[in-house]
């Protein structure tokens, strides 16, 4: 028996500890005696007997198996720790040379790869400057409206008041997909009023959305339009966000750690799809936005995300006031498409 003593002693201690723990769990944490049924008592007695009579070779094999499980558990914990550290680590930031895409326009672009925790940024100063989100905010109001039932997908149509608007596509009864794609302001004015100030503030705080300032709820600070159906805090008013913050918000909505329902995100993704920019290798989802002050376009946006060869990338292109330049949301969308398509192939194959 001496030749097996080391193995037997090591194994018996482990198994003894396991059965001791099992009995403690069965008896309860108080340690008080607990009555078992005859069947339970017989099962415990059989298991203890098996352990006591186990051959050294079998005990050694069981010990090895237990140690393997312990090792695998440790490895899993290590992977979880590394993943958590990567998520909390400072992102890598690369200054991108995308000047040719802007062709003299005053603007910025941000593309974020979550798998690499890597930002590519053109014009960092402007990328960190907060401006009015304009109609890109329809992504947020759509999400909150869907989550809170203000937008009912079974009957999302809202009746036109009969007032004639400059965009002829708004002069009719309109449903959610049409309102998003035509950027119908009166529809979203109603949605946002339906969400309400308190709920909207809670959601913007949860999203860490720019300055989260909705104090000018009615949009009276807007110098370009005084029609209450076409103004609000998100249109050249109190709410502001930077291009980089736009990409961060997109990840909070559509990333792996999103707190929003899969159904709301799926529906939102459907209306955000941009077929004219997408092909077999890249799918682009986004929303434009444009705002004027005293008749001059001062903000133009296109923000969203793209799936490129199976890899998710969040992006934002912003154009600011440029004398004599084409400062439009359409041009911002075109620039985003050009940059993303130039980045189509995975980095290691470029």
What CA–CA distance (Å, rounded) separates 200 from 230?
18
Q: In this structure, are 70 and 111 located in the same domain?
A: no
User: So what's the pLDDT on residue 118?
Assistant: 97
Q: In this structure, are 54 and 148 located in the same domain?
A: no
User: So what's the pLDDT on residue 77?
Assistant: 58
Neighbours of 227 (CB within 10 A): 14
Q: In this structure, are 51 and 162 located in the same domain?
A: no
User: So what's the pLDDT on residue 62?
Assistant: 60
Q: How confident is the model at residue 32 (pLDDT cuts 50, 70, 90)?
A: very low
Q: How confident is the model at residue 310 (pLDDT cuts 50, 70, 90)?
A: confident
Inter-helix orientation angle 5-27/56-88, to 10°: 70
Q: In this structure, are 79 and 104 located in the same domain?
A: no
Q: How confident is the model at residue 309 (pLDDT cuts 50, 70, 90)?
A: confident
Of 18-32, 154-168, 179-193, minimum mean pLDDT range: 18-32
Section 237-243 average pLDDT:
98
pLDDT exceeds 60 at position 19: no
User: So what's the pLDDT on residue 45?
Assistant: 58
pLDDT exceeds 90 at position 87: no
Q: How confident is the model at residue 13 (pLDDT cuts 50, 70, 90)?
A: very low
Q: In this structure, are 34 and 111 located in the same domain?
A: no
Cβ atoms of 149 and 155 within 8 Å: the answer is no
Structure tokens at 176: 């959610």
Higher pLDDT, 187 or 347: 187
Q: In this structure, are 258 and 153 located in the same domain?
A: yes
Task: Show which of 26, 60, 86 is a domain's final residue.
Answer: 86
User: So what's the pLDDT on residue 203?
Assistant: 98
Section 253-278 average pLDDT:
97
Section 227-244 average pLDDT:
97
Q: How confident is the model at residue 321 (pLDDT cuts 50, 70, 90)?
A: very high
Work out the mean pLDDT of the chain and round it to a whole number.
84
Section 82-108 average pLDDT:
84
CATH code of 304's domain: 3.40.710.10
Task: Show which of 52, 67, 86 is a domain's final residue.
Answer: 86
**Three-state DSSP class for residue 101:** helix
pTM: 0.75
Q: In this structure, are 107 and 180 located in the same domain?
A: yes
User: So what's the pLDDT on residue 89?
Assistant: 85
Helix (H) or strand (E) holding 154: none
Section 22-33 average pLDDT:
43
Structure tokens at 347: 């980095």
User: So what's the pLDDT on residue 131?
Assistant: 98
Q: What pairing do the DSSP bridges indicate for beta strands 107-113 and 311-320?
A: antiparallel
Q: In this structure, are 54 and 129 located in the same domain?
A: no
Higher pLDDT, 129 or 225: 129
Provide the domain count of the chain: 2
The proportion of the chain whose per-residue pLDDT surpasses 70, expressed as a percent, equals: 73
Section 17-25 average pLDDT:
42
Task: Show which of 70, 86, 102 is a domain's final residue.
Answer: 86
Q: In this structure, are 169 and 47 located in the same domain?
A: no
pLDDT exceeds 50 at position 9: no
Structure tokens at 92: 């890598």
Q: In this structure, are 253 and 273 located in the same domain?
A: yes
In this structure, the chain runs to a length of 350
What domain range is 51 assigned to?
2-86
**Three-state DSSP class for residue 25:** helix
Q: In this structure, are 60 and 120 located in the same domain?
A: no
What CA–CA distance (Å, rounded) separates 350 from 348?
6
Q: In this structure, are 224 and 286 located in the same domain?
A: yes
Cβ atoms of 113 and 255 within 8 Å: the answer is no
Please give the span between the terminal C-alpha atoms of the chain, in angstroms, as a whole number.
66
């Amino acid at each position: 028996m001496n030749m097996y003593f080391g193995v037997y002693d090591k194994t018996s201690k482990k198994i003894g500890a396991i059965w001791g723990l099992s009995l403690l769990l069965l008896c309860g944490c108080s340690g008080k005696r607990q009555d078992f049924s005859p069947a339970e008592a017989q099962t415990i007695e059989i298991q203890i007997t098996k352990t006591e009579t186990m051959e050294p070779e079998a005990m050694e094999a069981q010990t090895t198996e237990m140690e393997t499980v312990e090792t695998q558990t440790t490895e899993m914990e290590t992977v979880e720790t590394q993943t958590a550290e990567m998520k909390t680590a400072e992102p890598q930031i690369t200054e991108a040379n995308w000047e040719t895409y802007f062709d003299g326009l005053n603007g910025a672009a941000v593309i974020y790869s979550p798998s690499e925790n890597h930002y590519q940024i053109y014009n960092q100063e402007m990328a960190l400057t907060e401006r009015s989100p304009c109609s890109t905010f329809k992504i947020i109001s759509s999400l909150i409206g869907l989550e809170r039932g203000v937008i009912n997908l079974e009957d999302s149509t809202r009746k036109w008041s009969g007032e004639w608007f400059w965009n002829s596509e708004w002069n009719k009864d309109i449903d959610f997909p049409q309102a998003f794609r035509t950027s119908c302001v009166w529809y979203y004015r109603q949605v946002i009023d339906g969400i309400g100030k308190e709920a909207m503030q809670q959601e913007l705080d949860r999203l860490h959305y720019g300055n989260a300032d909705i104090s000018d709820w009615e949009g009276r600070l807007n110098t370009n339009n005084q029609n209450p159906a076409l103004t609000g805090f998100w249109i050249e008013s109190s709410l502001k966000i930077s291009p980089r913050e736009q990409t961060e918000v997109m990840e909070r909505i559509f990333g792996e750690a999103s707190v929003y329902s899969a159904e709301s995100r799926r529906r939102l993704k459907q209306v955000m799809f941009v077929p004219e920019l997408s092909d077999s290798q890249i799918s682009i989802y986004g929303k434009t936005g444009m705002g004027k002050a005293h008749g001059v376009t001062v903000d133009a946006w296109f923000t969203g995300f793209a799936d490129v060869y199976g890899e998710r990338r969040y992006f934002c292109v912003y154009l600011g006031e440029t004398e004599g330049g084409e400062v439009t949301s359409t041009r911002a969308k075109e620039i985003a498409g050009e940059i993303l398509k130039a980045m189509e192939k995975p980095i290691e194959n470029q």
